[in-house]
Amino acid sequence: MMLATNNTNTAIITPVSIDYLLEVFAEFLDIDVSAGDAASDTLKTYRRQLQQFLQWCDKHQIHPADAIKDDVKRYRRWMIKTKQYKPATIALKLAVVRRFYQAAVEKGLLGINPAAGVKPPREKRDPADKITYLETEEVNQLLQVIPEDGSIKCARDRAIIAIMALEGTRTIELHRADISSLVRQGKNLGIRVEGKRSIRVVPLTPEIAKVLVFYLKLREATGEKLRPHRPLFIAVGNRAGGKRISRRGIRLIVDKYLNKADLKHNPGRTISAHSLRHTAGTLALRSGAELRQVQDLLGHSDPRTTCIYAHVGDRWENNPALNLDIDI
């Protein structure tokens, strides 16, 4: 609510419109999120998550400017009990609501932030449970089901899966990469990728570099000019042929070959496109790479994130129960 005065200098209360709150939040997204350099996907996520909160407020006849901490707690309970969201999802949604109100407080529209101090439920799962990955022989199995028929499509698919499974790139990083993202240092080839909060160069092995170069030469053979602004990975087909491949398109490619190799669903494990990133981290540590090297390869800002991969391998290989001399 905002204070105003009438002709008799008597203070009156004027409600803050939702449109104005959204305008202030939009300014916050543009200026403050990621120090003013947020990715478009991040901004879309913020707007989508906030919209859900506003719809909840409307359903419960609560004007967002009048919400109190108990209202935000009720929203949290609705997400837990009714929507049954996971703690990580609730944490994201509450963070957006908190920032929505913080923007209004900093603008002087509200006196306090009603979402401040409202915490998400604790994550009850072991963080290592989220790590699903392929064994070395399974990576070979996955690559073997990709036809080598000389087509742009199959050459592209082989390059994408090899880079994700062995170098640990994210789908969004390959989606964003352009021809200008290629980096040459001597005989070495790499890809400059833009991650969540940083830009790094992913060094390609000679074998992966050869696959990528073959794919690009096939594109050139069709008459395409590989100009710097052109996407590194393109969609293939009548509708979107030649356009930048979408993140969803990359996930569909990975799922297609996982199903073909009978690796997608197995008892106790489901593999996704993101599992290929876990595969790269897990297999790299298992092969003797240092933790710092893997952290740099995957672009982790916090080494504790990389340590999860070490924990996954250590859990099975160094299980204390293996040392017990007991017949069962």
Q: Which residues contact 5 (CB under 8 A, 6 or more apart)?
A: 11, 12
Instruction: Decide: helix, strand or coil at residue 176.
Output: helix
Q: Which of 101, 133, 257, 309 is catalytic?
A: 309
Q: In whole angstroms, what is the distance from residue 59 CA to residue 164 CA?
A: 43
Handedness of CA 39, 295, 284, 192 (dihedral sign): positive
Q: Is 83 annotated in the active site?
A: no
Per the structure block, which two tokens stand in for 120? 């998400």
Please indicate whether residue 196 is annotated as part of the active site.
yes
Task: Say which of 69, 86, 274, 286 is annotated catalytic.
Answer: 274
* Candidate list 130, 196, 230, 264, residue with the active-site label: 196
Q: How far apart are CA 183 and CA 129, in angstroms?
A: 35
20 flagged as catalytic: no
Which amino acid, one-letter code, is at 139?
Answer: V
Contact 229, 114 (CB under 8 A): no
Find the radius of gyration of the CA atoms of the chain.
25
Q: Is 170 a catalytic residue?
A: yes
Structural element, H or E, at residue 190: strand 188-194
Residue whose C-alpha is closest to residue 166's, from 80, 308, 294, 24: 294
Options 76, 93, 170, 175, the catalytic residue: 170
- The answer to whether residue 274 is catalytic is yes
Residue 175 annotated as catalytic: no
Burial (CB count <10 Å: 0-12, 13-18, 19+), residue 150: exposed
* Residue 11 backbone dihedrals phi, psi, to 5 degrees: -70, 130
CA angle 123, 194, 230 (to 5 degrees): 135
Instruction: For residue 174, give the amino acid letter.
Output: L
Query: In angstroms, rounded to a whole number, what is the distance separating the alpha carbons of residues 198 and 61?
Result: 42
Answer yes or no: are the C-beta atoms of 254 and 276 closer than 8 Å: yes
Report DSSP letters for 224-268, one per residue: ----TTSBSSB--STTTTTSBPPHHHHHHHHHHHHHHTT-SEETT
**Mind telling me the catalytic residues?**
170, 196, 274, 277, 300, 309
